[in-house]
């Protein structure tokens, strides 16, 4: 369902929810899980004269690199997933054709999957020992959301309910997992920045000559 009537009240910005706090909880880090799964050991096996202290230092550095990645905002990842939603893209095209216009789009219950696979290359004395593979997957179960589209961008959301399944794996070993965690959102909120819905789709050429059936262009 779409309508060109804007929301009654100006929404406030939603609070940031880093993946780290959602998945790991307060005060939790990755040093322990990395050590428990022996993540660094196979990569460091060729190094001569290894010590347990050296292994712990490498694990600590790896935990810091992966932890930086977990600073991604959960809501931003969900909003990015909406770029492919057909109803939102249709509204984006209409608002692009009429600059300054706004549409409100009610979304049916749906699922958004956000998958990320960064990696960390490990070097010792300038020689590459291997690559640490990271897999982060979030599945959003969304119901009752109403989205605001303006100038081909998603700009605000009137929230319904949203739960999230999240999983973090390193070298194939699951280090952290959370199933069905609720995403606490205000009733209506603005995104921290407009989310382009048609970034990969070129705008129509306003100077392109139109074709009238039965009339030649000669």
| Pairing outcome for strands 188-196 and 12-13 | parallel
Query: What is the structure's pLDDT at 6?
Result: 46
pLDDT digits (tens, 9 = 90+) for 164-214: 999 999 888 898 999 988 877 766 666 777 889 997 777 666 545 444 444
The HSE-up count of residue 54 (CA atoms within 13 Å, CB side) is 10
Query: What is the structure's pLDDT at 49?
Result: 67
Residues of the chain with pLDDT under 50: 1-3, 5-9, 207, 209-218
pTM: 0.72
Cβ–Cβ under 8 Å, residues 138 and 165: yes
Cβ–Cβ under 8 Å, residues 10 and 186: no
What is the Cα–Cα distance from 159 to 187, expressed in whole angstroms? 5
- Quote the tokens at residue 196: 């382009």
Closest CA to 37 of 172, 153, 135: 172
């Amino acid at each position: 369902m779409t309508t060109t009537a804007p929301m009654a009240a100006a929404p406030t910005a939603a609070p940031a929810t880093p993946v780290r706090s959602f998945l790991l909880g307060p005060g939790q880090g990755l040093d322990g899980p990395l050590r428990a799964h022996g993540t660094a050991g196979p990569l460091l096996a060729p190094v001569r004269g290894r010590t347990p202290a050296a292994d712990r230092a490498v694990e600590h550095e790896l935990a810091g690199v992966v932890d930086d990645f977990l600073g991604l905002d959960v809501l931003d990842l969900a909003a990015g997933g909406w770029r492919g939603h057909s109803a939102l893209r249709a509204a984006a095209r209409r608002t692009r054709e009429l600059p300054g216009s706004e549409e409100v789009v009610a979304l049916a219950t749906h699922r958004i999957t956000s998958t990320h696979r960064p990696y960390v290359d490990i070097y010792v004395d300038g020689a590459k020992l291997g690559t640490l593979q990271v897999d982060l997957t979030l599945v959003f179960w969304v119901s009752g959301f109403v989205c605001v589209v303006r100038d081909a961008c998603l700009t605000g959301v009137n929230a319904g309910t949203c739960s999230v399944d999240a999983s973090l794996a390193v070298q194939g070993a699951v280090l952290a997992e959370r199933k069905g965690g609720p995403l606490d959102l205000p009733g209506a909120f603005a995104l921290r920045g407009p989310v382009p819905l048609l970034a990969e789709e070129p705008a129509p050429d306003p100077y392109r000559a139109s074709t009238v059936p039965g009339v030649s262009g000669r």
